[in-house]
Amino acid sequence: MGHRLNQVTCKGERSSFPPSIVLYTAIFAGRDVLKMPDVSGMGIEFWCFTDDPSICIHPNVVYTPMLVPGDPVRSARLLKAMPHLFFPKYEVWIWMDASFEVKRGADLRWLAQVRSPIATFRHRLRSCLYREAEICVSEGLESLGVAVEQTACYRNLGYPEGAGLSETGLLVRKNTTPVREFNALWWREISTRSKRDQISFEFCARACGLVPARIGTVDENRWVRHRGHAR
C-alpha cells in the first residue's frame, strides 16, 4: 500500500532540514485522545495521523481517511509497521501508541543510541508468541481459526516456544535494509493474518536476522506512561 506523507493533508509545516529522528502515532475512529508530547529542544519531529478533523488544528497533525477502509486497527498498524513509506529520509523512527504519553522530562534521544536496529519493551507477563495467541483468542481479540492457522505456520517453519515476547507500544527502529525488510514482512503478516501485531513481531524479527533490544517494560521505563485507550 503506497500511502506517503505527501498524499495526505498536513496542517503543520515541514522544516527544510527535518531532524533525523521522528516520533509518530495514529488515532483512528476516536479510539484515543491526542497527547501532544513535548519534544522541544530534542531535535525530534513529532507527527500524528488521524481521521478526526477536530484535532487537526494542532501543528504536526496529519489528516487522512482510514488507510485500510473500515478497519481502524489495521489503519494504525499500517503506519506503525511501515514508517519507511511515510518517513523515508529519517534515520530513526520511534512509534508510540496513542494510548501512551511521554513522561515529563523524558529525553527520547537516548532511544536513538540503542545499538540494536530494533528496540521495544519486554512483555510484562509472557515470553512466548504461542501463549500470546492463546490469550488473544481467550479474550476475544482474535478468532480461533486465524490464531491456529498462523501459529501452525510458525511451528512448521521451526519457530520455538518460549523465545521471548515484546510489547510494542513504544517501538524504535533504525532506517536500515534489514529493518525495512522486517517492516514489510511484519505488515504482510498483520494485513493477511492476525491484526494482533505482537503475535507476529518476534517471528518476523528472527526471519530478518534481527534481535530486538529490550528497553524495559510498559510499567518500568524512563520514557512513556500507559494511559489506556479512550474506548
pLDDT tens string, the chain, 231 residues long: the values are: 333 343 443 443 344 344 699 999 999 999 899 999 999 889 999 999 999 999 988 889 999 999 999 999 999 999 999 999 999 999 999 999 999 999 999 999 999 999 999 999 999 999 999 999 999 999 999 999 999 999 999 999 999 999 999 999 999 999 999 999 999 999 999 999 999 999 999 999 999 999 999 999 999 999 999 987 766
The Cα 180–Cα 89 span in angstroms is 12
Residue 58 is predicted with a pLDDT of 86
Residue 56 is predicted with a pLDDT of 86
Long-range CB contacts (< 8 A, 24+ apart) of 225-228?
225/100, 225/101, 225/103, 226/99, 226/100, 226/169, 227/35, 227/99, 227/100, 227/101, 228/99
43-68 per-residue burial string, b: 16 or more CB within 10 A, e: under 16: ebbbbbbbbbeebbeeebbbbbebbb
Alpha helix ranges (H) inside the chain: 72-81, 83-86, 129-138, 144-156, 177-192, 197-207
Question: Which three cell numbers mark 215?
Answer: 528497553
| 143 beta partners | none
